[in-house]
Amino acid sequence: MRRQRGRELGEGSSMSWKEQRNLREKERRMRMKHLFFTLSSHVSPTHRLPVPQLIDHSASYMIQLKEKVNKLREKKKTLLGEVGNHSEGSSFNLPKLSICSRGSIIKMNLIMDLNMKRVMLHELVSVFEEEGAQVMSANLQNLNDRITYTVTAQAIICRIGIDPSRIEERLRDIIF
């Protein structure tokens, strides 16, 4: 049993209407204090702000986040080739093949439409292996109506290296 303001609280006792209202108000204030603390930790984790400034700062922070999300969505659409007329067809500028080479490491990205010629991942991997590269990772990803292939390989003998133009030529023969 607890004592509150001279009264015992138990099964048989009841609080007055005023005490219940005060208790609800106290709980509401504690809940709001916790919510403001959580908001403050998200908006400005380095220092605490007074509530009016916190609300203003969080509103501007939310607007910034919304703009950032919109920019990222536009970037995603641009990267997927969906910007512009959708009536031009879903295979706008596809397939896209890009090969990047840094030292003894070569990375290949290929984006194809699902309706295009099927390319098996093992065919792409075998090109790298036949050209003297050891495949470190090979990924296949389906996204809406597109397939993305990503292969990362490293030269078996670093002094000899890998010829990216030869690999690109052989990959283009497989794709087209």
Domains of the chain: 17-80 (4.10.280), 94-173 (3.30.70.260)
Return the ∠ at Cα 26 (arms to 20 and 30), rounded to 5°: 145
Nearest to 170 by CA among 93, 97, 94: 97
Question: What's the confidence (pLDDT) of residue 83?
Answer: 45
pLDDT along the chain (176 residues), means of 10: 48 75 94 90 82 88 92 83 48 78 88 83 90 91 87 84 85 86
Give the C-alpha distances (Å, rounded to integers) separating 154 from 107, 132, 136, 141, 160: 9, 9, 7, 22, 11
Residue with tokens 């501007």: 60
Question: What's the confidence (pLDDT) of residue 143?
Answer: 81
Instruction: Report the Cα 136 to chain-centroid distance in Å.
Output: 23
pTM of full prediction above 0.85: no
Amino acid at 134: Q
Q: Which residues contact 162 (CB under 8 A, 6 or more apart)?
A: 101, 104, 106, 131, 132, 133, 153, 155
Tokens at residue 57, please?
């700062």
Axis crossing angle, helix 51-80 with helix 17-43, rounded to the nearest 10 = 50
Question: What's the confidence (pLDDT) of residue 23?
Answer: 93
Question: What's the confidence (pLDDT) of residue 81?
Answer: 67
Q: Write the DSSP string, 85-117.
A: -GGG-TTTT-SEEEEEEETTEEEEEEEEETTS-
Q: 148: which strand partners?
A: 111, 141
Strands (E), 32-144: 96-102, 105-113, 133-143
Question: What's the confidence (pLDDT) of residue 1?
Answer: 43
Question: What's the confidence (pLDDT) of residue 82?
Answer: 54
Question: What's the confidence (pLDDT) of residue 44?
Answer: 78
Residue with tokens 């969505």: 73
